[in-house]
Amino acid sequence: MAAPDWTLGKPLRREWDESQTALRMTVNGKQVQTVVADRLLLCDFLRDNLELKALKVACGEGACGACTIVIDGQPARSCTLLALQAEGAEIFTLEGLNAPEGLDQVQQIFQQQHALQCGYCTPGWLVTVYSMIKRSIHPDSPEVAQYLSGHICRCTGYRNIWTAVRRALGAAMDESAGGEK
């Protein structure tokens, strides 16, 4: 195995004696090798230790979708998983899925459809859409509703988001709004 891209050798701040375990995973194509507290949440590890700030933590229960990442090809809520549960996994966050030169096609569609307001929930929506695209989910499939059912946006109506998702999945412009023009 190649040397890890991230080796976090400094000890974690410990306010009391707690168990720690070695952890290896791949995050956004980079090998990670470190030691983490057994009770550390995956979202906190990604945000605080690897400084991947796109994923947000809102509800802490996995109900809102703001913390969604892709683990081994499947969207997952990082606020309900311990970092150790991702041992050996391949993880992608929005930072790893973004085009380095600016907005990619999915992000442009969300922008064109006004499918965001404050942007807090947007990374979770986008990561889920990328996962659906990779799995070739058809825009008219009932799976679309299943994938999106765990995402909450508190700022905007879902119509524009739904339209953006359908367009990103390949629906024609006039089909995206359910046949409305």
Task: Give the count of beta carbons closer than 10 Å to the beta carbon of residue 133.
Answer: 14
Q: Tell which residue, 103, 105, 113, has the closest CA to residue 157.
A: 113
Which domains are delineated in the chain?
6-93 (3.10.20.30), 105-177 (1.10.150.120)
**pLDDT attached to residue 150:** 87
Calpha distance 156→110 (Å, rounded): 13
Q: Tell which residue, 95, 115, 100, has the closest CA to residue 46.
A: 95
- Let me know: does 26 contact 54? Beta carbons within 8 Å: no
- Let me know: does 94 contact 27? Beta carbons within 8 Å: no
The per-residue pLDDT string of the chain (181 residues; one tens digit each, 9 = 90 and over) reads: 555 666 665 555 555 567 999 999 999 999 999 999 999 999 999 999 999 999 999 888 888 999 999 999 999 999 999 999 999 999 999 999 877 788 889 999 999 999 988 889 999 999 999 999 999 999 999 999 999 998 999 887 799 999 999 999 999 876 555 444 3
pLDDT tens, position by position, 78-94: 999 999 999 999 999 99
Q: Tokens in use for 157?
A: 């109506």
Calpha distance 159→142 (Å, rounded): 17
**pLDDT attached to residue 81:** 97
**pLDDT attached to residue 156:** 78
Calpha distance 108→89 (Å, rounded): 29
Calpha distance 146→179 (Å, rounded): 21
